[in-house]
Structure 1
């Protein structure tokens, strides 16, 4: 349906690196979420979110193997659990793994509190997010108008570019992403089928040996190219 009304945030980057992402942090993101997005979201919305660091601030983060021994011990005690003083880190971490809860993120809890749901994109799959395609259109339209590179005009040009993007353009990009998702799904089925052709099953019947030539144990060789063959063997 287009951009969420009244949820736009434009700010001047103070970063010396030239990357505006350095200016967007947990505090700024949560402030925008609470003051700009939540008041304008339709009821029971589904929010697609990537895995940027400020999107994934955990409220119940458990220790990892890189945590100190003290951190692991303190976490175990905070959960009302016990450990032996003689336990090494690997043993303490087994307790952590057994009792840690699914990760909960600050942003998700804020949205869920208002009746919304969050779905997260697979890591490194920006192509599943229609807004990335919209950003590309937006940047091109800004570049065309920003000929003189005048800082005083950039906000006006950016706002005009935002308002020029229609609901139809959004629908087009959403359909394009759906095609990509369908392509991944069907390719996944084909990959599963091909992987099955290369499985070597261990622990068969005692009568099965590596020297068996019975057709029930060794399939015909399927040439894939001059050097590669697909074979399924029971040992």
Structure 2
């Protein structure tokens, strides 16, 4: 896959699993479901088939840019929080005892 992508100058973005907030497509999918939920007043599957292309036709370049920008803002928020934890909290969580020393201490107490 990477070789074909390089031939066409395409960058493959690998997203972490179980973090849909980093994926702009998930935001679009949620917007589509919301659009159908609000406009499917007769609750018929045929209406869903008509509403989906209607939503997609109205989803312009600005909407796509907004979804991508939102995902980037979420990523920035996560990176900022992660950096804060690494710099301000993790130094105080360092365990000076090795795992075996802790296990030996527990065995001595029994």
TM-score (norm 2): 0.71
Instruction: From 136, 142, 147, give the equivalent of 2:36.
Output: 142
Mapping of residues 220-235 of structure 1, within 5 Å: none
Query: How many residue pairs are counted as aligned between the two chains?
Result: 96
Are residue 123 (structure 1) and residue 17 (structure 2) matched?
yes
Q: Which has the higher contact order (CA 8 A, sep 6+)?
A: 2
The unaligned stretches of length 5 or more in structure 1 are 1-107, 204-235
Structure 1 or 2: larger helix share? 2
Structure 1 or 2: larger strand share? 1
Question: How many Å separate the matches in 1 of 2:20 and 2:80?
Answer: 19
Contact kept, 8 Å, 1:141 with 1:161, in 2: the verdict is yes
Are residue 112 (structure 1) and residue 11 (structure 2) matched?
no
What is the deviation of 1:126?
0.5
Change (3 A) 1:126 1:200: same
Are residue 198 (structure 1) and residue 93 (structure 2) matched?
yes
What is the deviation of 1:124?
0.9
Superposed CA RMSD = 2.4
The unaligned stretches of length 5 or more in structure 2 are 99-110
Are residue 133 (structure 1) and residue 46 (structure 2) matched?
no
What is the deviation of 1:122?
0.8
What is the deviation of 1:200?
3.7
What is the deviation of 1:177?
1.5
Q: Which runs of 4+ in 1 moved over 3 A?
A: 200-203
Question: How many Å separate the matches in 1 of 2:90 and 2:2?
Answer: 39
Mapping of residues 180-199 of structure 1, within 5 Å: 180-193=74-87, 194-199=89-94
Which deviates more from structure 2 when the two are superposed, residues 162-171 or residues 142-151? 142-151
Question: How many Å separate the matches in 2 of 1:159 and 1:145?
Answer: 13
Contact kept, 8 Å, 2:2 with 2:12, in 1: the verdict is no
TM-score (norm 1): 0.36
